[in-house]
Amino acid sequence: MVNKKFYITTPIYYPNDIPHVGHAYTTIAADILSRWFRIRGYDVFFLTGTDDHGKKIALAAEKAGKSPKKFTDSLIPKFKEAWKKLNIKYDRFIRTTDKDHEKIVQEILQKTYDKGDIYKGEYEGYYCIGCEAYYTEKDLENGCCPIHKTKIEKLKEETYFFKLSKYQKALLDFYKKNPDFISPKNRRQEIINRVKEGLNDLSISRTSFNWGIPLPFDKKHICYVWQDALYNYYSATRQKGKEKYWPTNIHLIGKDILWFHSVYWPAFLISAGISLPNCVFAHGWWTFDKEKISKSRGKVINVDELVAIAGVDSARYFLFREGVFGEDSDFSEKILIERHNNELANKLGNLVSRVTNLAEKNQIQKTTNNLLKKLKLKQIEKLIKNYELDKALNLIFEFIDICNEYVQNKKPWETKDKKVLYELVDSIKAIAILLWPFIPETSEKIAKQIGFKIKFDEIKKPIPANKIKKSEILFKKI
Ligand code: MSP
């Protein structure tokens, strides 16, 4: 039997600085989902990477006194190290400077041009380098970018346009037929309304600088950085053996870049005759002590700082327990530590250490695990399939509470009841497997002590008759 495939992507990040908690959030979410689908038996392809071209990077490189290539080369290891530190297991790290990507971008541009969807003209208007996006007069706030609040450059240059306006109807039809394409649901209507208002053709080339992919039909122009970047999701599947993964099951992104992904991206694909992704899921933004994460105000927390607070698993856990996945959340070191102490150390850590301690000293005896019947497995599966990660975690922790109460009520340290101990050890196995996508390091430690494999099917199988080792402290209280 051929395994079902699951193709998941993160945005490709601008390598103009080291990654921070916002970038980490999307990437961990993709890691959680890909781990989940892997243990569910799917053939997973998890893609992440960097968006190396464009004016923003060219300027940052200039400031650093380096060529854009040298500059980005120096930052890529920082991203890779950060993802390693966070225990993120991606399948490919793509850069828009990768040769295979550049080739595919040119191929698709040529195809789109041959089809008559690209024409030459002149762009006159506003451009925010921070967003790498075009704005009209009415979008601006006091002459500034509505997102960055900075002065915005006025452009007037020869450019090629993509006939975006032509795809208005096709897009609206597509959204209607595919109600889950724009997710979560509450973000859908705003996009539809804006598309209904009408679409302007999109300027897709620049001539005033050269850090980008040349248009194949006019080498004087380089491709607009967003178009170049969006194609990465497709170009990564043109590699030998990777074709089977297209179309994407889920593009995970932040809400700030939903317009690019839900309007430009499908329009580019329809024009090129390529089938469309299943879903673009936009999560919310993290604020920092209720303020927008911003370098200029010092409100930014990078990956090293994040992990230093309470370790990698506590960071991963906090990010997905604290906020509703899809909505904005506030980052607070204090709450991260509270959750580490109260939930990971007191609830999960104590359960595992008490039970494995007793199971090491006393024997366990196989029996029907009635305790496990209280685990809402079907619901958890459904929640994760709907990308409701925080709710899934809530249900897993509800079951941890049930197990802790069971220990309190049954007092196995007095009774030495071998069957009760079996039920508890077997339930911990289920908990560890379900938590593995979220906190893999901890789950793997538990699996080693009790002696089982992290596989979904193992949840329902009785634990092997191993010698159980008492647990080291999983979470030291802070
Ligand atoms: N290069 C583009 C994406 C191209 S994808 C074809 C880009 N890069 S970025 O470096 O600015 O990173 C954008 C992503 O980082 C956001 O979409 C979001 O996923 C994440 N975040 C950045 N700051 C964030 C927060 N404060 N909170 C949550 N996520 C945020 O845009």
349-403 residue pLDDT tens: 999 999 999 999 988 999 999 999 999 999 999 999 999 999 999 999 999 999 9
Model confidence band, residue 298 (pLDDT cutoffs 50, 70, 90): low
Q: For residue 156, is pLDDT > 70? A: yes
Q: Label residue 188 by pLDDT band (50, 70, 90).
A: very high
pLDDT for 251: 98
Listed by start position, the domains of the chain span 5-300, 332-460
The tokens for 348 are 């999960």
User: Can you tell me the mean pLDDT for 426-449?
Assistant: 97
Phi-psi region of 56 (alpha: psi -120 to 50; beta: other; left: phi over 0): alpha
Higher pLDDT, 348 or 153: 348
Confidence at 296, pLDDT banded by 50, 70, 90: low
Q: Is 221 a catalytic residue?
A: no
> For residues 293 and 94, which has the higher predicted lDDT (pLDDT)?
94
Alpha helices in 115-214 (DSSP H): 168-177, 188-197
Mean pLDDT of the region 249-259: 97
Tell how strand 182-183 and strand 280-283 pair up.
parallel
User: What CATH code is assigned to 332-460?
Assistant: 1.10.730.10
Contact criterion met (CB below 8 Å) for 41 and 5: no
Q: Is 5-300 CATH 2.60.40.1930?
A: no
- For 162-173, the pLDDT digits (tens) are 999 999 999 999
Is the pLDDT at 346 greater than 70, yes or no?
A: yes
| Cβ-contact 223, 213 below 8 angstroms | yes
Contact 52 CB / ligand 1 (< 6 Å): no
Ligand 1 contact, 22 CB (< 6 A): yes
Pairing of strands 118-128, 133-135: antiparallel
Q: Active-site residue 292, yes or no?
A: yes
Q: Could you tell me what percent of the chain has a pLDDT over 70? A: 98
User: Measuring from atom 21 of ligand 1, which residue has the nearest CA?
Assistant: 22
Residue located nearest, by CA, to atom 16 of ligand 1: 254
Average pLDDT, the chain: 95
Instruction: Say which residue, 138 or 260, is predicted with more confidence.
Output: 260
Report pLDDT digits (tens) over 132-148.
Answer: 998 888 889 988 988 88
What pLDDT is attached to residue 297?
61
Report which of residues 145 and 261 the model is more confident about: 261
Beta bridge partners of 202: 162
Give the tens place of pLDDT for each residue, 98-133: 999 999 999 999 999 999 999 999 999 899 988 899
Nearest CA to ligand 1 atom 24: 22
Q: Strand locations in 326-409, DSSP E?
A: 329-331
pLDDT greater than 80 at residue 465: no
pLDDT higher at 162 or 296: 162
The C-alpha atoms of residue 7 and residue 277 are separated, in whole angstroms, by 10
Query: Which one of 285, 299, 322 would you pick to mutate in the ligand 1 pocket, going by the greatest count of ligand atoms within 8 A of its CB?
Result: 285
| The pLDDT value given to residue 1 | 47
- Check whether the bond before 437 is cis (ω within 30° of 0): no
Phi, psi of 458 (to 5 degrees): -70, -20
* 361 alpha carbon, distance to own chain's centre: 43
Average pLDDT score over residue span 34-44: 97
CB 202 within 8 A of CB 161: yes
For residue 10, report the distance from its CA to the centre of ligand 1, in Å. Answer: 9
Cα(269)–Cα(135) distance, rounded to whole angstroms?
Answer: 23
pLDDT mean over 281-310: 85
Residue 468: predicted pLDDT: 86
What confidence tens digit (pLDDT) does each residue in 45-80 have?
999 999 999 999 999 999 999 999 999 999 999 999
State residue 242's pLDDT score. 97
Q: Is the model's pLDDT at 257 over the cut of 50?
A: yes
* C-alpha to C-alpha distances, 263 to 251, 268, 276, 388, nearest whole angstrom: 13, 9, 12, 24
Atom of ligand 1 nearest to the CA of 265: 6
Q: Is 126 touching ligand 1 by the criterion CB < 6 Å?
A: no
**Alpha carbon distance 128, 135 (integer Å):** 7
Q: In what order do the strands lie in the sheet with 329-331?
A: 291-292, 286-288, 329-331
Mutate to test the pocket of ligand 1, among 23, 51, 261, 283 (most ligand atoms within 8 A of CB): 23
Nearest to 90 by CA among 79, 103, 78: 79
Mean pLDDT for 444-459 is 95
Please say if 131 is a catalytic residue: yes
SS percent in the chain: helix, strand, coil, step 5: 50, 20, 30
The DSSP code for 137 is G
For 202-251, the pLDDT digits (tens) are 999 999 999 999 999 999 999 999 999 999 999 999 999 999 999 999 99
Instruction: Quote the pLDDT of residue 2.
Output: 55
Pick the more confident residue, 130 or 443: 443
